[in-house]
Each structure stands twice: as structure tokens, then as C-alpha cells.
Structure 1
Amino acid sequence: MAEIPILTIDGPSGSGKGTVAARVAEVLGWHLLDSGALYRLTGYAAHKAGVDLADPAAVAPTARNLQVNFGDGKIFLDGEDVSLAIRTETAGNNASKVAAVPEVRAALLDWQRDYAKAAGLVADGRDMGTVVFPRAKAKIFLDASAEERARRRYKQLKDKGIDVNLSGLIAEIEERDHRDRNRSVAPLVPAEDALVIDSTDMNVDTVVERVLQAVHEVYPETRTA
């Protein structure tokens, strides 16, 4: 069986990895995995059901039994359009909490790996290169300062009509960074063989170009994409 080419893009909240991953996947004609959406969905579903997000025995079944449909750029949970609801900072923080539960990560692991299909996969997340696809040949760790990431999230959420406070966003991002980087299971760290890109002073087009260069270096056949 031919090897499925995989690009992993990991990084903290607001680093721009989702936007970059979508752009790169479109250029290459590859599938796209937004792994963060799965954790956001788990956190959202658990919170809505009144589940203790720190209780592995309660949260893990939620992750295993997600009734999710992706289509037309929208995400449906149990038939409800939650596309915007799971993108709030509260949903992001809940995602970070459930992501620290080993049983949740185990429940979602096979689901994520099943996304690796021809012609290729761009996997966006926090442990794509370290845990989910450790053998991927192309790995990126996309970072930026907490202040810059907060500004990006502020604009993104405002554009969606979501009311947010910039100083509050900075505090939430720093809190989430600390939790993600220091959790005992799959902490947020660059894979040893990942290319680290600091996008603080870079625009999206520049980052996309740099990522595509990295992909072309390990998958030369993509140069025609």
C-alpha cells in the first residue's frame, strides 16, 4: 500500500494554524483534520450535559459517543449546528480541560488517524506530530506571542459577531498555554523533527509559502500542486 503523505501543524491557540492548515490543504488537494474541533465538541457536549470536565470516568464516554457530522463548512452535534458555539473562548478552555484527560485522548486517537487518506492529509492540532502522526515526514510547529495571538482571536471572534474583551482574551490564552504545555499527557511541545515557525510578525501568505516549501522538500511530488 502506498504511503499516505502527512503534514502536521501543531501550535498553541491563536497561532493561525487552522487558517494555514486549510490554505495548505486546499493548495495541495489534501484532506484536512481539525483535531481541535473534536476536543471542542467533547468539551461542549460534556459541559452541556453537566459533566465534570475533570472526571475521566464521566468525560471519556462523551468523547467515545460523539454524534458529529461535518458538512458545508458547518459542524453538527446531535443534529444541532454548533459551528459558532464551539469557537468561543469558553469552549476553547473546556476543550483544553478535557484534552488533559488521558481517557479522552485515547478515545479520539483512532478517529483522528482514520483521516489519513489519499491523496494526503494536513492535520492541525496540538499533538499531531508528537502523538497522533509521529511518523509524518512534514511537521510544523506554529507559534506567536500571546499578545499577538489574542489580537488575532479578538478580530476573528468580533468578525463572527461574538462579544469579547482583549485583556480577558490574553489572560485566557496564557492560562490555556500553561495548562496545555504542562499537562501530563501529550503536552504542547514541538516534535523533535518539527520546523518551528514564529508567525508573530508574519502574514498568512508568508507562513503558507514557508509551510509549502517544507512540504515540497520532503514530498517532492507536491511541487506541481
Structure 2
Amino acid sequence: MTPPKRPDGIIIALDGPAGSGKSSTARAVAARLGYRHLDSGGFYRAITYAALRAGIDPDSWGSLTHAQLDTLDVHGHATETGYRMTVGGRDVSAEIRAPEVNAHVSQMAAVAGVREWLMDALREAGARGGLVADGRDIGTVVFPDAELKAYLICDPEERALRRLREQGADDLSTEHVRAEAARLQGRDQIDSSREAAPLRQADDAVVIDTTQLTFDEQVARIEGLARERAGIDRNADVS
């Protein structure tokens, strides 16, 4: 197979709706391949967190300028395995997962100016390759030339159950799961209907339904595809 055209390896783009397991899968695949993980959602979450913290009315987010975004002082800091998000120099990697941010992040991500502002930073992160990136428009907009694109899908109630477990929820009743599934489907509608880079499957993406797969199975599936595209022996230790 032709060697990767990027010095550090290929780019793997994982897209899909909220709760489909993109980020956790991307982290695991990156670790197995010795690649970096880029969670694009972390950048949007950090901007959302910073805007809320600064008291900027969500109804005015659509008119945010690049200069205003600069003043929020949001940065992603590369680590050996991924990115650490800071706002005003303070690590907010945990705080950007809070319910208030969850409730507003799709609104922020739908703002064309915000997506434009972030694009250079995201593409710079993948300039050398050796990257597993996840989001909703990674394979269609951010890295349309990624060597491997996968689109993860999953039953809404299974997505909801996984999300609640991830958040450490005590209430996993059918009623609560269905309510969370409805919330996720509402977010899907926002993400897929926005004008700026809507959620959609890339034409050349491999579709993987994770509903009946264990976490290890979905990671292994993508790792196998990645090794094929990168020309890495399946038994090779790349750590």
C-alpha cells in the first residue's frame, strides 16, 4: 500500500450524531495507533462555556465577530494523546461537559462565524497527520481529504442510555432514557438542518452501526480499517 502522504500518518475522521460514541472511540483508536486525538466538539464546548461565563446572551451569538471570539481567550493545547481546553489560561476540560454547556453547544456550533474562526485551528492540528478527529463535519468540511472516514450511527435510546451512564446518572429508568433520547434527537435535528456545515455522512464514509457492538468491537473495527488505509501491519506495535 502507498505510504501515508502526511509525515506522522493518516487522518481518521469520525462523524455521527450526539451520543454515538465518537469521542470515546476516537480516543481509544488514537491510543492504539499512537496517534493524537482531536475532539472538535471540545473546542465548540469551550467557546460555549466561555460565552456563557462572559454573560453573552445566547440570542446574540449569531452576530459574534472574530474579534469578540478572540477576547474569549479559548485555546486547545496539544498533549501526547489529544487536546486540553483552556479559557483565560485555566483548564476547563471538565467544566465544558456540564449540562448548561450541553444545552447550548449546538446553538453555538450552528454559527457560521464561529465555525470559520475555528477552522484554521482544527486544520493546523491535522497538518502532519497522525490524527483521529471526531465531530459532525470532520469528513465533510474540516478534513475532506482524510484517508479514512467513518460515520457512526446508533439507536436513539441506546445513545441516550450510554450518555446517561457516561454522566454518572442515578436514574436510568425507561422514562428518563426516553426523555434523554428525545433531547438527543432534538439536537440531531438542529445539527442536521443548520446552514453552516450540517451533520451529514460523507459520500466516501464507512457507515458503522454501533447499536449492537461492544465498545471494544467498534474500536477494533475502526482500528482495522485504519491499519489497512495506513499500510500498518495488524500485529504491529505502534505505541
Question: Which secondary structure state, in structure 2, belongs to the residue aligned with residue 142 of structure 1?
Answer: strand
Give per-residue Cα distances to partners, 1:160-214, cap 9 Å, x unaligned: x9xxx54442232111011001111111111000001110111111001110121
Give per-residue Cα distances to partners, 1:81-134, cap 9 Å, x unaligned: 422321134312311101111100000000001111546110111100000000
What's the counterpart of residue 172 of structure 1?
183
Gapped regions of structure 2 (runs ≥ 5) = 171-175
Instruction: Tell me which moved more, 76-85 or 182-191.
Output: 76-85
Q: TM-score by structure 2 length? A: 0.84
Q: Residues 213 and 54 of structure 1: is their aligned pair in 2 closer, same or farther, counting only changes over 3 Å?
A: farther
Counterpart Cα distance in 2 of 1:190 and 1:207: 18
- How much has 1:149 moved relative to structure 2? 0.8
Q: Residues 63 and 202 of structure 1: is their aligned pair in 2 closer, same or farther, counting only changes over 3 Å?
A: farther
Counterpart Cα distance in 2 of 1:60 and 1:222: 44
Instruction: Tell me which moved more, 211-220 or 57-66.
Output: 57-66
Instruction: Tell me which moved more, 91-100 or 48-57.
Output: 48-57
- 2:86 is the counterpart of 1:86: no
Q: TM-score by structure 1 length? A: 0.88
What's the counterpart of residue 26 of structure 1?
31
1:51-200 residue pairs with structure 2 within 5 A? 51-55=56-60, 56-58=62-64, 60-65=66-71, 66-68=73-75, 70=77, 75-118=85-128, 120-158=130-168, 165-200=176-211
Among 4, 7, 12, the alignment partner of 1:7 is 12
Number of aligned residue pairs: give it: 224
- How much has 1:136 moved relative to structure 2? 0.8
Question: Which secondary structure state, in structure 2, belongs to the residue aligned with residue 152 of structure 1?
Answer: helix
Instruction: Tell me which moved more, 130-139 or 86-95.
Output: 86-95
Instruction: Tell me which moved more, 55-64 or 204-213.
Output: 55-64
CA contact (8 A) 2:46 2:85 kept: no
- How much has 1:222 moved relative to structure 2? 5.7
Percent identical residues: 38
Among 40, 44, 52, the alignment partner of 2:49 is 44
What's the counterpart of residue 202 of structure 1?
213
Q: Alpha carbon RMSD of aligned pairs, Å?
A: 2.7
CA contact (8 A) 1:54 1:101 kept: no
Question: Which secondary structure state, in structure 2, belongs to the residue aligned with residue 9 of structure 1?
Answer: strand
- Which residue type is aligned with residue 171 of structure 1? A
- 2:236 is the counterpart of 1:217: no
CA contact (8 A) 2:10 2:230 kept: yes
Greater C-alpha radius of gyration:
2
Q: Residues 131 and 91 of structure 1: is their aligned pair in 2 closer, same or farther, counting only changes over 3 Å?
A: same
CA contact (8 A) 1:28 1:222 kept: no
Q: Residues 25 and 44 of structure 1: is their aligned pair in 2 closer, same or farther, counting only changes over 3 Å?
A: same
- Which residue type is aligned with residue 141 of structure 1? Y
Question: Which secondary structure state, in structure 2, belongs to the residue aligned with residue 187 of structure 1?
Answer: coil
- Which residue type is aligned with residue 25 of structure 1? A
- Which residue type is aligned with residue 23 of structure 1? A
- Which residue type is aligned with residue 123 of structure 1? A
Gapped regions of structure 1 (runs ≥ 5) = none
